[in-house]
Amino acid sequence: MKSAAEYKKDLSKFLQDKLIPFWLERSVDTQYGGYLTSFDENGELFGDLEKNIVTQSRMVWGFSHLIPFAREEDKASMKEAAAQGVQFLIEHFWDPEFGGFYWLLHRDATIKDPAKLTYGQGFAIYALAEYYMMSKEQKALDYAVKGFNCLQKYAVDTFRGGYYENIERDWKLSPVGNYAGDRKSLDIHMHLLETYTILYAASKEYIHGRRLREVYDLIVRYMVNTEKGYGYNQFDFEFNKLPAINIKRTWNAERETGEKIDTPTDTTSYGHNVELSWLSDFALRTLHEKTPKDDELIRKLLDHTLNYGYDSEFGGVYRDGIADKKVLIFDKEWWQNFESMTGFLNGYVLFGDEKYFRAFAETWEFIDTYFLNKEFGESRQLLTRSGDPLISNLGNPWKGIYHTGRALAECITRLDYCMQR
């Protein structure tokens, strides 16, 4: 196992010399604006070049947030890439009639699906707030707040708590069934946690901090098994647990490999659990409200994944399992492993337990050996347990710079801390 300094050098080199240039050279759509994100294993465009609000926003976030980690010669271009992305969000995704951000556009910015999913609203707010913190351009923060206000007006479940998630253009609930107009999920509420963390950091407004606290408390109360340390996937409006289904626009329980899974109610996502651990820590530190009880839950979330969802033979985390019983899907997905790398290292920083640093190191070694396409500079999407490629694409309408770049940056920051101990 290498030292913290050696890992920092490895991660920084890939982020600076490979990942950022990969997206900077390819993703900006100079013809229509916004970003192109569908790239095959050779870094070539492929497939439908549609633009969804989640990934377009994540690209804005990435080019804004990663500037301090980039090579000096790339920083000005990253600011320009972020700025045109913000312009695209405001000019083409914002709905001037009903408010909020559309779900999906064609490449040429014509509307393909005008729905107002909470998932998409959250990431637009997240991106615009991050861009504001980088640029201090007030218009970006103004639209972030406008998006936040739409969620408060139309998406909050004032009776039972939490947020409605699957919503149409006019803010009416989507149909039931695979459009899931009758469901809530940990996934979307966890991402609202990170959205409100950044919005509160940008605005310093009391209401944004209050909503952040409310989302965290709701997750802990209803969506997580706080005794054993794992999250549940999907719920009805009263937060009764439901078997996870494939949701038409967002949650692909079957992913792209076509497998059919008979999922019981207590399925859990190992990657989401570890991601939740460090996002909770970040949110509570931003609020200056973290307690020993919160640290206890963070530790349980990490330990559950280590005990049930971590591959001690090859390294890395599996995709999904049945709570504290058995793994359902042994494949390994890029985002779950990058988020787990961050969560494990964050656990080491918080608790000083070497098992978390070892899990970080082994997960990175698996990523470095099997996930990373070092010729072109991004991560493959999906692998078998032992590292054979199942989906080698480097980008798609859902896969941009966000998970990969954020994990590398978050780990570099924590490795700095480890080096100063």
How far is the CA of 130 from the CAs of 66, 184, 375, 407, in angstroms? Answer: 11, 26, 30, 16
Q: Considering Cα of 278, then 280, then 286, then 292, what sign does the dihedral take?
A: negative
In what side-by-side order are the strands of the sheet with 382-383?
332-333, 382-383, 389-391
CA-nearest of 400, 395, 394, 402 to 61 is 402
How crowded is the C-beta side of 410, counted as CA atoms within 13 Å? 24
The two structure tokens encoding residue 63: 């080019």
Each of the 421 residues of the chain gets a pLDDT tens digit; together they read 999 999 999 999 999 999 999 999 999 999 999 999 999 999 999 998 999 999 999 999 999 999 999 999 999 999 999 999 999 999 999 999 999 999 999 999 999 999 999 999 999 999 999 999 999 999 999 999 999 999 999 999 999 999 999 999 999 999 999 899 999 999 999 999 999 999 999 999 999 999 999 999 999 999 999 999 999 999 999 999 998 888 888 866 434 444 455 666 788 999 999 999 999 999 999 999 999 999 999 999 999 999 999 999 999 999 999 887 789 889 999 999 999 999 999 999 999 999 999 999 999 999 999 999 999 999 999 999 999 999 999 999 999 999 999 999 999 999 999 998 7
Q: Which tokens is 266 given? A: 């207590």
Which of 119, 87, 120 has its CA nearest to residue 101?
Answer: 120
Strand order in the sheet with 104-105: 51-52, 104-105, 111-113
Which residue type sits at 22? Answer: F
Q: What is the pLDDT of residue 254?
A: 37
Q: Specify whether the backbone of 239 is left (phi greater than 0), alpha (psi in -120 to 50) or beta.
A: left
CATH number at residue 393: 1.50.10.10
How much is the pLDDT for 262? 60
User: How many structural domains comprise the chain?
Assistant: 1
Residue range 77-103, pLDDT digits in tens: 999 999 999 999 999 999 999 999 999
pLDDT recorded at residue 265: 76
Helices (H) and strands (E) in the chain, counts: 13, 16
- Strand stretches in 208-294, DSSP E: 224-225, 230-231, 234-235, 241-242, 267-269
- The pLDDT score that the predictor gives to residue 267 is 87
**Whole-prediction pTM:** 0.96
Give me the pLDDT at residue 253, please. 42
pLDDT of residue 261: 52
Distance, in Å, from the CA atom of 81 to the CA atom of 62, rounded to the nearest integer, reads: 10
Boundaries of domain holding 299: 4-420
